[in-house]
Structure 1
Amino acid sequence: MKTVEKDSPSLIERLEKIHPHLMLMYIGVIGSSLIFFFLSLLFISTALQQQVAIPLPKSFVFSTAVLLMSSYFAHQYLQHFKHDRPKELSHAANGLLLTGIIFTVSQIAGWMELSNSGVHLAGKATGAYLYLLPGLHILHLIGGLIYTMVQALTAKKISKDAVQALIVLSSQYELVKARMLTVYWHFLDVVWVILFLSFLLLL
């Protein structure tokens, strides 16, 4: 007898299965990506026209390494959630929170380096973008930090209570929240790496 092959789900069907909160986050990420894209194009155009020699802050190099580490913790967070490991989940959330804070502090240190070298927000446009683009990125990152803090508190709570761990780790909505956290941090990482490479190549 011939077996009837089921048609693979269409793109629309796949989109319909995505949780509304996760879909809203995807839409927000796409919108933010477009903003960064057009601002980056303006920075590239301005940098090519002005040809201003600006020393890249060493803190930006350090912060890039830290943010890449945060991407690792974000990945581990989702994996620990899927495999019902509450203690490891708490450690990953704390690691993500810590690297996010260190990144923010190092970015501020980078701005101080720029200011000390004579590059100011009110100066030439090329230098101003070194404040504007990272500043916009930090605003997005602060939102991620607040959400991560909430998730870290939940992870800490369930790491000490087996009953709460069972309830949370078996919840599909909590899984959606874990996915949102991971996707958002990967988005932050990708955006910053692109910005950093643009600074590195054009300054």
Structure 2
Amino acid sequence: MNLTMSEQRKKIHPHKFTMWIALGSIIMMFAGLTSAYIVKRNQGNWQEFRIPMEFYYSTAVILVSSLTIQMALRAFKDREMVKYRRLITITALLGVVFMVMQWFGFGQLYQTGIRLDGNVSGSFLFVITGLHMVHVLGGVVALIVMFFKAFRRQKRTYSSVGIEVASTYWHFVDILWIYLFVFFLWIQ
């Protein structure tokens, strides 16, 4: 069956479709975890804790990284490859900074007695934020792959699908962190 060019453009790219299915699954997982957090919190043996300042700083970092990846996407589409390389590098570095700040935040929580093997409140916090960090790590790996592709000397193709998928995913983990951060502040 032959499809005209306009009919082909209306179809979603398989990588984008797969990513949207994955994002839906991730949303359901975090919705379930945050719902369980609320239920367990109301059972009475909940240990109160303060959100570490590192989580505030990491929130600012991930917000800036969303801006840099959006600018990288625009630069790629405009074929400004030097600018694209710089911005994809900055975004990957900001992702790493986010994870390091989160790690220090976990250390701060641990020092105040909030532990994975302690009260259920700490376990929930560590599991939920830890799972988010795993998803950020996946995004950082994707950004590192994009980084190496941007600097390789082989013939380049200017398909923007890869950076579009990476950008959408990165915005997603950003929005997910904002949701989790506000959730912990509000529900705490």
TM-score norm. by structure 2 comes to: 0.90
Q: Conserved in 2, the CA contact under 8 Å of 1:80 and 1:86?
A: yes
Candidates 66, 79, 100, aligned match of 1:71: 66
Identity of counterpart residues, as a percentage? 30
Q: How many residues align?
A: 182
- Residues 48 and 121, structure 2, Cα contact 8 Å, conserved in 1: no
Name the counterpart of 1:184: 169
Distance 1:47 1:14, change over 3 A: farther
Match of 2:105 among 106, 110, 124: 110
Counterpart in 1 of 2:19? Answer: 25
- CA–CA separation in structure 1 for the residues paired with 2:157 and 2:50: 48
Query: Is the CA contact (8 Å cut-off) linking 1:87 and 1:156 kept in structure 2?
Result: no
The alignment partner of 1:29 has SS state of helix
**Could you tell me how far apart the structure 2 residues matched to 1:200 and 1:149 are?**
32
Deviations 1:43-77 (A, max 9, x none): 12223444532011111111111111110011111
Q: Compare CA radii of gyration and give the structure with the larger one.
A: 1
Match of 1:194 in 2: 179
Q: Which runs of 5+ in 2 are unaligned?
A: 1-5
Is the aligned partner of 1:39 residue 2:12?
Answer: no
Q: CA–CA distance in 2 between the matches of 1:15 and 1:28? A: 22
Alpha-carbon distance between aligned partners in 1 of 2:160 and 2:145, rounded to the nearest angstrom: 14
Q: Measured at CA, do residues 14 and 48 of structure 1 come closer, stay the same or move farther in structure 2, by a change above 3 Å? A: farther
Which stretch of the first structure deviates more once superposed, 76-85 or 41-50? 41-50
In the alignment, the residues of structure 2 paired with residue 30 and residue 64 of structure 1 have an alpha-carbon distance, to the nearest angstrom, of 22
> 2:91 — aligned with what?
96
Q: Measure, in 1, the Cα distance between the counterparts of 2:28 and 2:9.
A: 21
Code of the residue aligned with 1:168 in structure 2: it is T
Query: TM-score normalized by structure 1?
Result: 0.83
Distance 1:65 1:144 in 2: 17
AA aligned to 2:171 is H
C-alpha deviation, 1:15, in angstroms: 10
Q: CA RMSD in A?
A: 2.0
Instruction: Find 2:157's aligned residue among 160, 163, 168.
Output: 168
For residues 16 and 84 of structure 1, do their structure 2 counterparts lie closer, same or farther at Cα, with a shift above 3 Å needed?
closer
Match of 2:49, SS state, is: coil
